[in-house]
Amino acid sequence: MKTTDKKSPGISAFMSAALLALALFSWPAFAGAGPVPQQRFFIGAAAGYFYPGQSSFRKIYAGPVLPVELQLGWTLNRKISIFGAARYLETSGNTVLLVAQRPEETHALHWRLATVRLGMNYWLWPSRFTPFLGAGFNAGFYKEKWLDAALATAGMATGFFVQAGGRYRLGRRWHVLAQLAYSSLPAAGDGLDHSVNLGGLNLSLGLTAAIF
Q: Distance between CA atoms of 195 and 54, rounded to whole angstroms?
A: 10
pLDDT at 4: 39
Residues of the chain with pLDDT under 70: 1-39, 96-104, 189-194
pLDDT at 190: 59
3-state secondary structure of 7: coil
pLDDT at 80: 94
Name the burial class of residue 101, with classes exposed (0-12), middle (13-18) and buried (19+) by CB atoms within 10 angstroms of its CB: exposed
pLDDT at 192: 45
CA 19 to chain centre: 15
Domain 2-30+41-210, what fold? Porin (2.40.160)
Rounded to two decimals, what is the model's pTM? 0.76
Chain segment 181-195, per-residue pLDDT in tens: 999 999 876 554 567
- Can you list the alpha helix ranges (DSSP code H) found in the chain? 11-26, 55-60
DSSP 8-state assignment for residue 65: B
pLDDT at 137: 97
pLDDT at 75: 92
Residue 94 parent element (H or E):
strand 80-96
